[in-house]
């Protein structure tokens, strides 16, 4: 396992997910939205968010898109690839797009634009983590779990070169020092 230090523990994450669910539920125009998660990193956050929304009387339909631009690397190549598209009809439906981390902005911008083209009645974005220092595309999320510094993050669904996805907390990977 990579050396890392915890940024947000399990209890802090659980409290924030509940707060996000409350904010989202109060804004939703319908108690039955479509929620679109971006794989692979968002699956843990999306699962917790769906359960938190259910406790508030919201019953979403869930689908996933697989989007990639990192592979096993830790730096984005800049090209976003859609590897799996959704099957839900979004026409005239409320949609919440959920991602693990808003970094460069390329992924969220591209996917949001693709979903807008499908004619939803309402579209909002929710990211678990926001790293504004890395933004190259001017985009922001409607709901944000936590802002993080410019470090490589692992845990709670996010991985670092394939490691750490199952950690129940968010951690910053410690870079090896040369020399």
- Domain hosting 29: range is 4-173
Residue 20 domain-assigned (yes or no): yes
User: Quick check: pTM over 0.85?
Assistant: yes
Residue of 48, 99, 103, 130 with catalytic role: 103
| Nearest in space to 32 (alpha carbons), one of 85, 117, 95, 87 | 95
Residue 51 domain-assigned (yes or no): yes
Active site includes 85?
no
Residue 179 domain-assigned (yes or no): no
Digit-coded pLDDT (tens) for 112-141: 999 999 999 999 999 999 999 999 999 999
Residue 83 domain-assigned (yes or no): yes
CATH assignment at residue 94: 3.40.50.2020
Digit-coded pLDDT (tens) for 41-61: 999 999 999 999 999 999 999
CA distance 116 to 139: 14
| Nearest in space to 97 (alpha carbons), one of 35, 41, 51 | 35
Give SS3 for 128. strand
Number of domains in the chain: 1
Q: Any bridge partners for residue 67, and if so which?
A: 82
Residue 178 domain-assigned (yes or no): no
Say which residue the tokens 């992924």 belong to: 107
């Amino acid at each position: 396992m990579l050396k890392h230090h915890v940024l947000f523990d399990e209890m802090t994450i659980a409290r924030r997910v509940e707060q996000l669910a409350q904010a989202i539920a109060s804004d939703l125009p319908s108690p039955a939205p479509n929620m679109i998660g971006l794989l692979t990193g968002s699956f843990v956050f999306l699962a917790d968010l769906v359960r938190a929304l259910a406790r508030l009387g919201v019953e979403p339909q869930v689908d996933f898109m697989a989007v990639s631009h990192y592979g096993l690397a830790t730096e984005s190549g800049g090209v976003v690839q859609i590897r799996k598209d959704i099957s839900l009809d979004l026409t005239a439906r409320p949609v919440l797009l959920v991602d693990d981390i808003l970094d460069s902005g390329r992924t969220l911008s591209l996917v949001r634009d693709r979903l807008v083209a499908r004619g939803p009645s309402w579209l909002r974005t929710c990211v678990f983590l926001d790293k504004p220092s890395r933004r190259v595309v001017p985009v922001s999320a409607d709901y944000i779990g936590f802002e993080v510094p410019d470090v490589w993050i692992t845990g709670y669904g996010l991985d670092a070169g394939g490691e750490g996805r199952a950690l129940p907390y968010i951690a910053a990977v410690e870079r090896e020092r040369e020399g």
